[in-house]
Amino acid sequence: MKNIIKGIMETRSIFIDGESLSPAESQKVYNHSPDGFNFGYGGSGPAQLALAILLKFTSKKNALILHQKQKIGYSKKDLSSKVKVKIRRKQGFSNRRF
């Protein structure tokens, strides 16, 4: 099963398979960005987004290890008003499929 992640830049809203993703749970783990998610650059908003997405698909420990490297993928996108990102399985980091 492929997970589709969509972001709406104007509202900084993120959806995984149509369900809204809130920054609240990831902020409890590590609060990079009190203002929530963002994308299109390499700062605190993309770090919060990367952490939140990884927490959905892997353990807290692995999400904390990987999220700073993962945010680079979000900042290098050529963004208009929406972005689609497919997450592929990272071998050795999770038994959960994504």
Q: Where is pLDDT greater, at 5 or 64?
A: 64
**pLDDT score for 94:** 41
Average of pLDDT values for 57-85? 66
Query: Tokens 């999400």 belong to which residue?
Result: 63
CA dist 72 to 1, 19, 41, 95, 96, Å? 24, 23, 8, 24, 23
- Contacts of residue 78, defined as CB under 8 A and 6 or more positions apart, other chains included, come to none
**pLDDT score for 67:** 86
**pLDDT score for 72:** 63
CA-CA distance, 81 to 38, in Å (whole number)? 12
Q: Is 40 left (phi over 0), alpha (psi -120 to 50) or beta?
A: left
